[in-house]
A and B are shown apart, each in its own frame.
Chain A
Amino acid sequence: MHLLSVSDLVVRFRTHDGTVHAVNGVSFDLDEGETLGLVGESGCGKSVTNLAVMRLLPRPAGHIERGSAVFEGQDLFEIDESAMRDIRGKDIAMIFQDPMTSLNPVLRIEEQMVETIRAHRKVSTKDARERAIELLGMVGIPQPEKRLRDYPHQFSGGMRQRVMIAMALALEPKLLIADEPTTALDVTIQAQVLELLSRLAAERNTAVILITHDLGVVAGMTRRVNVMYAGFVVETAATSDLFARPLHPYTIGLLHSMPRLDAEEGEPLVPIEGVPPDLRQAPVGCPFAPRCAWAIDRCWADMPALGAMDGVVAIETTGANPTHRVACWNVPTPDEARLAHPDRPGFHAAPAPTVAEIAR
C-alpha cells in the first residue's frame, strides 16, 4: 500500500471572471520515505494539488470537483473536518514559499511552536516548550532558548525557514509537503536549507513532496519527478531518467531554458515560446499544443493519457525503478530532445484547427 495515492484529482476555482480549471485529473502515488518533485511554471497546478490534498484550498472559490487522495488507507476527501485537522500538522506537514509571510508576525515563535505541538499531543506547555527548544536546536538555530522568545521579524529569511522546518517536523509527520521552500531565499542560503531539509527527512524516513519551478533543486533533492503543465501531469520519471532522456516537449523546453555550466558546446539555450494557456477555458486537447514544435493534428483534439513507452508491461508508480511515463502523441526522439526542436524533413507543427474544423 502506498502512503499517499492521489487519483484523478480535479480542482476548479469559481471566480468573478469565470471558472478556473486549475487541476485537471492528476494522479500519482507516494511511498513512505520517498521524495517526489513537482515541477512546473507558476499556475501549473502544483501548489493547488497539494492544497487540495490538505483540504486547504482558498475558500469559497476553490473546490475539489472529483478524485480521491488516499492517505494511509483513508480518503482525505471523505473524512470529516476534525479528522482532517488531526492529520494536518501531525501526519502531513507543510512548509511554504515565503518564510517572511508564513509565520504570524505578531506572535512569538514560542507560541507558534507550542500551539502546534499542543494541538496534537496532550502535553503541558512546559513540555511542549522543551520540545520546541530541542527542535530549534535540531534545525541549527543558535541559542534556541533565547530565540524562542523572539518574533518572526527578528529572524533572517533563512533562519525563519529553519523555524518553519522545525515546526513542520515537530510531530514527526509521515509526509512533508514543501512548497517552493527556498524560492524566497538568498542563493547562498538555499543550499543550506535544502540540505537540512533532505537530511532531516531522510533521518526520519519522512516522505517529501517538493514543489518547485526549478529543475536544479529537484535534481539534487528528489528520487522521482512529476512535470506538470496547465493542471496536468505531462511526464513522470525517476529524476535521473528525466534528465537523461526527457520525453515530453515541455520537459525538453524546461531543460533547455535552464542555463547549465555543463552544457555541451553549441547546445542552445532555448526559451519556451508563447504563454501558458488561459485556465478559464475548459481544456481541449493537449494544453501545450499552442507552444509545441512537435504538435500534430491529434494534439489539438485529444489530451493523451500518461502512459509508458512501447514495450513496457508492468507500470511501477513508485519505488526504486518507477516507469518513465509521458502524456504525448508525438514523443520527440533523443536527438530531437538534445536539439530542442523536431528534426524530421518536411515536418511542421500542426496549426490550430479553424472553427469550421472544430465544428466538424
Chain B
Amino acid sequence: MARFIVRRVIAAVPVLLGLSVLLFIFVRLLPGGPASAILGQHATPQRIADVNEALGLTRPLYVQYFEYIGRLLHGDFGSSYVDGTKVVDVFLLRFPSTIELTMGALFFAIGLGIPLGRIAARHSNGLIDGIVTVISLFGISIPVFVLGYTLAFFFGVQLHWLPTFGLADPTLGVPAVTNFPIIDGALASLQGGTTAPFVDAIAHVILPSIALGSIPLAVVTRITRAAVIEVSNEDYVRTARAKGLTEKRVDNRHIMRNAWLPVTTVIGLEAGALLAGAVLTETVFNINGVGSWVVDSIRNHDYVVVQSLVLIFAVIFMVVNLIVDIGYAFLNPRIRYS
C-alpha cells in the first residue's frame, strides 16, 4: 500500500510541474503583463517599466521560473499585487470554510444518494424508480446558483428557517480558533454553555451544502442504482441466497460491499465538480472561502493569487483522488493484493 501511494505521488510531480509552467506562462502572457494588471490600463510606460524592474520581470524567463518554483517549494505562494497580503496566510484563513462546505455537500450527496439509489434499484422500473430518476435528472440539470437562490428564497426569505448568508452569524462573536465555523461554534458552545453558536454554524451550512451537493447527489444516486442492479445479478449474490442468508445480510454485505466500488470511483470524479462548484456556491451564499476568493482575484486582476490558487486547487484535487483511490484499494482486495 505504501508503495502504491509513493508511486501515485511521484506520478503527480510531472503533472504539477507542467501545470506550474502553464500558469507561469499564463501570467506572463496577460495583456500588458502583470504590471499593467497592477497599475491599470492607463499607466505610463515609465511606471510600467519601474514596476517590472521592481518585480524582477526583466530577467530571463527561465530564471524567473526557477525562482518561482524555488519559492513554491519553500511554501511561498507569493503575495497579492492588490493588497500585499500573503497568499498562504489568506488561504489558511479561508480554506476551512471551503472544506466545511464541500464536506457538507459530500455528506448530503452520499448520505441521500446511496439510500435513494438502493430504493430505486429495489423497485427498478417501478414508480419509485421513476421518481428517483426524475430527481437525479433535475440534480444534474440545475446549476448550483439557480438551486442556491431557489433554496435561499424558500427557506430563507419566505420561511425564515435557515440563514442564507455566510457560514456563521458574526453577531454571535464566536472567536476564530480553527477557522472551521462548525468546530469554532462547537468550542464556543462548550465554553459558553449554550448550544447557540454550534446550532448556528450547522444551520448556516445546510443550504449551501444542498446547493453544492445536488450534482454529486444525482450522480451518486444514478451510479448506486446501476451498481446495485448489476451486482444483484451476480452469481455470488445467488450463492449468498442459496446459503440461506437473510435478505438484509445479502443486501448489506454481499451487494453493497461490491456496489461501493463504482460509487467510490464516481465520488473521486465528482470531487472536481465539488471544488469548482464551491466557487459558485460561495458566491451565492457570500461565504468567505477559497472559491469566492478566486472570483474576487480574477475581478481584481490579482493574477499572482489566481496562479497560486489554481495550483493549490489542482493539488487538493489530486490529494482527494489519491484518498479515494486508497479507499478503493481498501474496498477491493483484487487491487490491494496485486
Contacts and interface: CB of A to CB of B under 8 A. Distances in A.
B244 A58 contact: no
Contact of A119 (B235, B245, B261, B332): B245
6 contacts: A90-B244, A97-B235, A104-B240, A119-B243, A120-B244, A164-B239
Interface in A105-120: 105-108, 115-116, 119-120
B41 interface: no
A94 interface: yes
A98 B246 CA distance: 23
Contact of A89 (B233, B243, B257): B243
Contact of B333 (A58, A102, A106): A106
Contact of B235 (A85, A96, A151, A167): A96
Nearest to A116: B243
Interface string A64-101: 00000000000000000000011111100110111001
B238 A151 contact: no
B243 A96 contact: no
Contacts of B337: 151, 153-154
A159 interface: no
A101 to B, nearest CB: 4
Contacts of A167: 243
Contact of B238 (A56, A86, A93, A119): A56
A56 B240 CA distance: 11
A217 interface: no
Contacts of B249: 115, 119
B contact face: mostly helix, strand, loop, or mixed:
helix
Nearest to B332: A106
B242 interface: yes
Interface in A36-85: 54, 56, 58, 85
A103 interface: yes
Nearest to B258: A106
Contact of A105 (B236, B240, B241): B236
Given A56-B238, A98-B235, A106 B257 contact: yes
Contacts of A90: 244
A102 B233 CA distance: 11
Interface of B: 233-236, 238-246, 249, 253-254, 257-258, 261, 331-334, 337
Nearest to B125: A60
Contact of B241 (A56, A106, A154): A56
Contacts of B333: 105-106, 108, 151, 153
A358 to B, nearest CB: 36
A154 B337 CA distance: 9
Contacts of B253: 107, 115
Contacts, number: 80
Given A93-B243, A105-B258, A151-B333, 9 more contacts: A56-B242, A87-B244, A88-B244, A96-B239, A101-B236, A102-B238, A103-B239, A104-B239, A153-B333
**Best-buried of A87, A102, A104 by chain B (most CB within 10 Å):** A104
A100 to B, nearest CB: 8
Contacts of B258: 104-106
Contacts of A116: 243-245
A87 B337 CA distance: 36
Contacts of B233: 58
Contact of A88 (B234, B236, B243, B257): B243
Contact of A151 (B234, B254, B334): B334
A86 B233 CA distance: 22
Closest 10 A-B residue pairs measured CB to CB? A89-B244, A88-B244, A89-B243, A101-B235, A151-B333, A104-B236, A94-B242, A116-B243, A102-B235, A102-B239
Nearest to A170: B243
Contacts of A87: 244
Given A104-B257, A151-B333, A153-B333, A119 B242 contact: no
B244 A96 contact: no
A165 to B, nearest CB: 12
A105 B259 CA distance: 12
A96 B331 CA distance: 25
A331 B215 CA distance: 67
A151 B334 CA distance: 8
A78 to B, nearest CB: 18
A115 B239 CA distance: 12
Contacts of B245: 85, 89, 115-116, 119
B240 A88 contact: no
B270 to A, nearest CB: 22
Contacts of A154: 337
Nearest to B242: A94
Contacts of B239: 94, 96, 102-104, 164
Contacts of A56: 238, 241-242
A287 to B, nearest CB: 27
A106 B243 contact: no
Given A151-B333, A153-B334, A104 B242 contact: no
A330 B192 CA distance: 96
B20 to A, nearest CB: 39
